[in-house]
Amino acid sequence: MGIPSFTVMLAYMLYSSSLAIELDSLHVSQSLSDGMTLVSQGGKFELGFFSPGNSSHKRYLGIWYKNIPIQTVVWVANRANPIIDFSGILTVNSTGNLLLTENGTEITFWSTISQKQAKNPVLKLLDSGNLVLRNEGESNPKAYLWQSFDYPSDTYLPTMKLGRDLRNGLDWRITCWKSPNDPSPGDFSLGLALSDYPVYYMMNGTQKVYRAGPWNGLYFSGFPDLSFTYVFEVTFVTNKDEISYSYNTKVDSIITRALISQTSQSLTQYIWDDDLQNWKSFGSKPVDVCDKYDLCGAFSYCSVAESKHVCQCFKGFSPKSPEAWNSNNSSQGCIRDKPLSCNNVTSTDGFVKYTGLKVPDTQHTKLHENINLDECRNLCLKNCSCMAYANSDIRGGGSGCAMWFGDLIDIKLFQSGGQDLYIRMPALESGLQHRNMKKVIIASTIAASSATLLLCVYVIYRLRRNNIEKSKIEGYMEGYVNDADLPLFDLLTITTATQKFSLNNKIGQGGFGPVYKGRLADGLEIAVKRLSHSSTQGMTEFITEVKLIAKLQHRNLVKLLGCCIQGEEILLVYEYVVNGSLDTFIFDQTKSKLLDWPQRLGIIFGLTRGLLYLHQDSRLRIIHRDLKASNVLLDDKLNPKISDFGTARTFGGDQTEGNTNRVVGTYGYMAPEYAIDGLYSIKSDVFSFGILMMEIICGTKNRALCHANQTLNLIGYAWRLWKEEKALELIDSTIKESCIISEVMRCIHVSLLCVQQYPEDRPTMASVLLMLASEMDLDEPKEPGFFPKWVSIEANSQPHQCEVSTNDELTVTSLDGR
């Protein structure tokens, strides 16, 4: 390109010395040159020029994460056309298009074409990672002049759509880089193939590598990984304008991306691990040999559980080429043992039901969305070419009809999850039934809730203890409640709702007083706590804390509806959580049977998200300090809600720990550094969570447990079994039939990591979520805190007996000198 001009050399000096000039937008009168960057409003993403790998002389315009130390590029403009020096410049022209040129020349390396009318175009980088060109003041995505999300590179980001824009003819497809040093399009891509029953394929050029399976209303048929839904919310849209799939995180602090790679020949979901300062794999597709497209040929299925041959013919079929089949070459598939009877007039054929499958390839299918399964069967039976049928939507017992014609290929048998498929068979064989595979029941965790709870209590108690007059209490609290946007209930309303605090309405007794069930005049069910003892904490401190957390919202935190302060009555009004506390389920021999493993796993994930919100995603770090089974409530769908925040503490900014001279918590759940030294942190909550998770798995309280003439707490017993490689003995007998061993073992492993003696060894809740929901490698746990010396109070008082006390009252220990 000749000798660099002074301008180019200056841009290079600015870039190399990291003195980049940052902009928040780019107008027609402005330009972005090498060494300058465009930064999203929240500081999450950055647009600028970069050189990948060791390609120091090739410059590309791209987007990367701004605050992640490992430069991770998620989009590239001029993928196949690099600039060979530092002279690149990006401009917005008056017609509403972007131009990437070489400074001082008219050579164009990349440009956009917008069909929409530009009025006052401006370029913005959004916190989603989407680069948008829009008219000034326009925020409607449908009105954008152009957006990078319409032209993905190799990275699939949250809220980005994958599929087809039918209105504008866009193919939302991700395509890998050719190599780590070359962002030009490689061979592997992932996109949607249009048909009556559309499906996503991973392609190697024009060859199909992996098929996700059609969308069945809950997930893709070939991707029944339920742990994915514990971390992500997914959306599938199909209408006349588009067919698209997108995802988003359920936890704001999670940074994630999906990457298609030429090297790994896979699509891998990554999540940023802030503890390790690195990207961790959350999972990838293809997963195993059975994900290889059409591995087994027609009328067969693939199962990794088969020890001799992963490919198996369906009942009533035999290998088309036995010799090739026995040599592990299954590509020719299987053929029927007996012909079908269909002759276009009458048919005595029937259907065999198979369960737990990834349904066949949908290239030759017909979709009828408005008929039921019986009607689908009859319709398929009347057509001699119809080889199978199934529900197209499996939600709510199933609806819609999908019919397959011709050979049935690319079918996988799952060990859990999967769909039902009805395959056409001759009459004499249609009575055959395939062995049933266990179905995983998805425990929905969609509910809206918030956290304030009992911090209000301390404000009220402090006022009472100081003998403030009734009118002043009411006036003060009315001002507080209005400030916190909480309703102030009238006492008559509450007494009417609870039938004058009738004993028949009493549903519990806590450290702060009795709890009553009530029903308001509009039919809303409530839980009312009638407070009965005072606080030792300062009024100002607790008023400040309550004001700060009153507006927190999360689906896994119980919701405070309001207060009532009249006369001597001081009441807190909560949403009524119909199934009561978790301890009444998992520690009860009868009710524990109502919680199978998928439901318990859903509860574990819900608690994980709730704590993560408190520790990291709320405006202040909130330490619960008394997490236990009795402080977890279950709603009508058995979704968990963390309750009882009367002992909680808040931190500001980067503060992560504190100390106290009053240790308030529950024996059996307190971290050692908190119980002994009064030091509390997010890691002390993690310890309590680890105890609770082990209790959910085992159905046994931690406080005392008998084994081999010794008294151990549950964690001590679990540690012993873990070291002896006998951890499976911990599993509650009521869930052994419904559990997936790999999932339970991972939960036990994570639980032991959470209860390690030293706080610095324990993971954060963000890491816990990643470890539970992915297949990432886990560290070997170290010895738990308080093991083997820590046993319960009950055990010490009666060393030769093993009893688990039902007394879960708070224990307060004063620590002198702190």
Catalytic residue list: 626
**Backbone dihedral region of 43: left (phi > 0), alpha (psi from -120 to 50 degrees) or beta?**
left
Dist. CA 334–CA 330, nearest whole Å: 8
Q: Burial letters for 458-475: b for 16+ Cβ neighbours within 10 Å, e otherwise?
A: bbbbbbbeeeeeeeebee
Pairing of strands 36-39, 525-530: unpaired
Tell me which DSSP letter residue 393 carries. Answer: B
Q: What 3-state class would DSSP assign to 71? A: coil
Q: Is the peptide bond before 121 cis (omega within 30 degrees of 0)?
A: no
Supply 114's token pair. 């917008």
CB 285 within 8 A of CB 302: no
CB 103 within 8 A of CB 17: no
Tell me which DSSP letter residue 58 carries. Answer: -
Residue 138 host element (H or E) = none
The single-letter code of the amino acid at 649 is: R
Which residue is it, tokens 């395959």? 423
Contacts with 411 (C-beta within 8 Å, 6 or more apart), sequence order:
296, 300, 301, 302, 357, 358, 359, 360, 421
User: Phi and psi (nearest 5°) for 517?
Assistant: -90, 145
**Backbone dihedral region of 283: left (phi > 0), alpha (psi from -120 to 50 degrees) or beta?**
left
Dist. CA 676–CA 696, nearest whole Å: 26
Question: Cα torsion for 506, 508, 509, 510, to the nearest 10°?
Answer: -140
Contacts with 35 (C-beta within 8 Å, 6 or more apart), sequence order:
10, 11, 12, 13, 14, 15, 19, 20, 21, 48, 49, 86
Identify the sign of the CA torsion 688, 690, 695, 696. positive
DSSP string, 315-349: TTEEESSHHHHHTT--TT-EEESS-----SS----
Whole-Å CA distances, 655 to 187, 487, 670, 682:
48, 32, 20, 10
DSSP string, 436-460: PPPPPPP-------EE-TTHHHHHH
CB 10 within 8 A of CB 80: no
Whole-Å CA distances, 752 to 480, 694, 713, 724, 759:
42, 8, 13, 14, 13
